[in-house]
Amino acid sequence: MTQPTQPGLPGDTVAAVQQALGTEHAAIWVYGLVSAFLPAAFDVSIREGATAHRARRDATGRLLGAAGVVPEPAEAAYLPPQPVSDQASALALLVAAEQDATVAWRSVLERTDDVELRKAALAALTAAAVRATRWRKAAGVAPLTPPLPGQP
């Protein structure tokens, strides 16, 4: 993610970026949790997803810092929408985490005119939508992708 082209960001943009940062923190936590419930065949995909979210988290933190905003820290833990107890529930949580990220990054797109921030938000939305599709496929969920990724 690159820095905004203008110093500072409007308040509604900052709130949306902070929310997106929160979804990145949560996604990283989710990838750690589900690793205990998925077989080794998923290790590479889990590692790639976690790495992508860490990179996005770090870039988002830098973007906020460059705009003079203190990035919100991660929570100690997150409450999954449903208990995770097996492979099916772990895959469902991964889909939910990626879907949450698409919604958050779409919100950023809707709340900024900054060209570089819009590019970064679109890249984040697209990457999360692709990962969500892959996890839906692994879970045997149809349809594999919603018609408008990022729509709440």
Residue given tokens 């960001």 in the structure block: 9
- Evaluate if pTM is beyond 0.85: yes
Confidence of residue 1 (pLDDT cuts 50, 70, 90): very low
For 3-19, how does the pLDDT look when each residue is reduced to its tens digit (9 = 90+)?
Answer: 444 457 889 999 999 99
For 37-69, how does the pLDDT look when each residue is reduced to its tens digit (9 = 90+)?
Answer: 999 999 999 999 999 999 999 999 999 999 999
Q: Taking the domain 11-139, which CATH number applies?
A: 1.20.1260.10
Confidence of residue 34 (pLDDT cuts 50, 70, 90): very high
Residue given tokens 């449903």 in the structure block: 82
Model confidence at 84: pLDDT above 90: yes
pLDDT value at position 148?
A: 87
pLDDT value at position 7?
A: 56
Confidence of residue 147 (pLDDT cuts 50, 70, 90): confident
Cα torsion 54, 55, 59, 62 to 10°: value is: 60
- Chain-centroid distance of CA 50 in Å reads 10
String of b and e for 13-29 (b: at least 16 CB within 10 Å)? bbebbbbbbbbbbbbbb
Model confidence at 134: pLDDT above 50: yes
